[in-house]
Amino acid sequence: MPNKTIYVSDEDEPVYKRAQTLTGRNLSATIAQALRHFTQQLEERTQGFHSIDLEVGNAIFTRKRFTGRLLATAFLVNDKRRKRRSVIILNRRDGKEFVGTRDIDSLPAVEGTESPANEKYDIYQTPKGNLVLHVDIAPTRGATTPHEQRMEIYASLDQIREHIPVDLYEFLAQKLTGSDIENLDI
Query: For the segment 50-81, what is each residue's pLDDT rounded down to a tens digit?
Result: 999 999 998 788 999 999 988 888 887 766 55
Residues 35 and 108 in one domain: no
Predicted confidence (pLDDT) per residue in 165-175, tens digit: 887 888 788 87
Residues 92 and 147 in one domain: yes
Mean pLDDT of the chain: 79
Q: What is the mean pLDDT of residues 31-49?
A: 86
> What gap in Å lies between CA 34 and CA 10, rounded to an integer?
20
Residues 36 and 92 in one domain: no
Residues 6+ apart with CB under 8 A from 111: none
173 in any annotated domain: yes
- pTM of this structure: 0.70
> What gap in Å lies between CA 172 and CA 161, rounded to an integer?
10
131-138 and 148-154 strand pairing: antiparallel
Tallying the residues shown for the chain, one arrives at 186
Residues 19 and 81 in one domain: no
The pLDDT of residue 84 is: 59
Range of the domain at 25: 13-46
The pLDDT of residue 16 is: 85
Residues 88 and 23 in one domain: no
Residues 63 and 124 in one domain: yes
Residues 23 and 63 in one domain: no
Residues 163 and 73 in one domain: yes
The count of structural domains within the chain is 2
The pLDDT of residue 97 is: 62
SS3 47: coil
SS3 67: strand
Predicted confidence (pLDDT) per residue in 133-167, tens digit: 999 988 766 666 778 899 999 999 999 999 888 87
Residues 77 and 120 in one domain: yes
DSSP 10: T
50-58 and 83-92 strand pairing: unpaired
Q: Using CA atoms in the order 111, 77, 151, 125, what is the torsion angle rounded to 10 degrees?
A: 160
124 in any annotated domain: yes
183 in any annotated domain: no
Residues 157 and 77 in one domain: yes
3 in any annotated domain: no
Residues 62 and 129 in one domain: yes
